[in-house]
Structure 1
Amino acid sequence: MFEFVWPWVFVVLPLPYIVRRFMPAKRMSQSAALRVPTLQTLAGTDSKPSGTSAYMTLFAFLVWALLVSAAAKPQWLGEAVAIPNEGRDLMIAVDLSGSMKQTDMQIEGREVNRLNMIKYVLADFIERRVGDRLGLILFADTAYLQAPLTFDRNTVKTLLDESMIGLVGERTAIGDAIGLAVKRFSEKEKSNRVLVLLTDGQNTAGNITPEQALSLAVANKVTVYTIGVGADEQIINSFFGQRMVNPSQDLDERMLTNIAQQTGGQYFRARDTDELVGIYQMLDSLEPVEGNSQKMRPQSALFYYPLGIASLLTLLAIGIAIIKPSLVALTNSKNGKVDV
């Protein structure tokens, strides 16, 4: 919508008429030492009313109206945008170790590896976190901050989608991932600090142990929700016939459960896509999006439009006033008239 911030400025709009009507200018003496030129004198018009002077008066009033409009601060207000009163910091840590290549998950009937399943389900979860600041950590041999805490959910989704298995190594540094998240949270004092960590293995690398990372998380009041990804025991066909395998035999559920309980979070088990969807829905209820928010309308200043038009018109009038006498003199010379 369009509005003037200071509409009361328009009370000065009739000021030139009032001054001209009730405070007439004194006639200038013929012997005056200094004459101030006006648009009328530059144009060669006298003080008697004429069509030209009437046009000049309307022109001057138009310029005045534009200047008053600019002073009233016109602006355009955009659509209202919700701004959360209290921000929530939610960091997502995703395992990119070599074991994530295991194709024991399904999406709409087709087999996919664990990372692709996480990307598929996590995209919708990220989309629903309106008002939260989200961050993304990728970990394997060590942990890397892929996306700092931001309200830009589309960027977080894009960076997650571009991640690849083996990008940061083949092993699993769970302790480093938790430690890095705690470090990023500590940069902002007031927030609800939540870490969602997804892994399919146990800690086999890194600079700090899961126990050390747990102590840091507890000291900094970071809530950790851990999710163990991987199918249960299943029967597969091989050259020697059918045999039972456990794709999740390396998953350290005891360690993940302890980390979640000690930080006030929960441990979840994602054996398939449906279970992971249910886990994210549960996380929405455990860590709901902030409901109360303020509304803000983006403002775009428009004062420079009437100000610019007024400046151009003034320059145009001055140019015409300067050029017109020369044109009149040139016309008179061609017609054989000589000014005395």
Structure 2
Amino acid sequence: MSIPLSASPTVIVVAPQGFLASARRQVADLLGSLIVQEKPAPRTAPDLGAAAWTLASNNAVTVARTRLRDWVVADGPAQTTDTEAADRETADSGTADTECAWAAWTSEQMAAWNEPAGAIVTDVDSTLIEQEVIEMLAAHIGLEEQVAAVTERAMRGELDFEQSLRERVAVLKGLDAQTIENVSKKTTPTAGAQLLIETAHARGWKTYAVSGGFQQILDPLAARLNLDGAVANHLEVNDAELTGRVTGPIIDRQAKAKHRAQWTSNNQLPSLGLGDGANDIDLLTTATGGLGLQPKPALKAVADGTLSLRRLDAVAALLGWDVATEQQH
């Protein structure tokens, strides 16, 4: 697709001098005829940290999707020092040309992302993958909507997670265990997930998943994505049927933080937490930094940044890492 220069939107890259230079070059190279302008990061709000940044344009997201297939430019208001307000404006608008990704890092966090070893630890349902697995399982017995309503309340922090999990799993009693494998095959990694994992590995970082979902679903997904480790709840199976119970410790918000600490040698290595719901709060707040992917309000309140666009390779860009493009694979 060729875009006349006169019709090209302007992409404004806002970043501290010397930070994300490679990411800025990628934007310029990928967008080709689009006009790229660089402006210094705002310095009037110290709470933003040294690396607050955003990529903004009049309509760059839509154009980038059309031309690049697998790359979406993070899009949001450039002339603001209030990232929370900026994110609220863009995320709540519901329009394709106002999706954004932003993070407000401290100088210590910036330095951590450049360490030669570390870990990305991510939630699974609605973060690493597009779906909520328990809802997919419930769909086989016609209870998807009821289970989805409970899941939504739990992710908003309105229900105790363990209690809500046990109640939702109970409705699966009698479901053929083969359904687990069938559902596993239908899970879809979030766009850019593989690129984020490959980018992390290329830098010497490990990638892990910790889920309030189910190990039987997560194991094949972890193998497919080449994760370094994965932990979730275990569905109990007897006589080739689900019993409606889970066995072993529940992976709740405290357990997620515990596993993250173990994977980083008791916090000796830097880590980034990724999630979307209230069950991810401890994961994000105990990590070196945390990002919410279209997060529920409870998680959004504690995250260092958010993505209103569903692209996990945008996480790598927020860390200042070079990201391989689809064309390079």
TM-score by length of 2: 0.26
Larger radius of gyration: 1
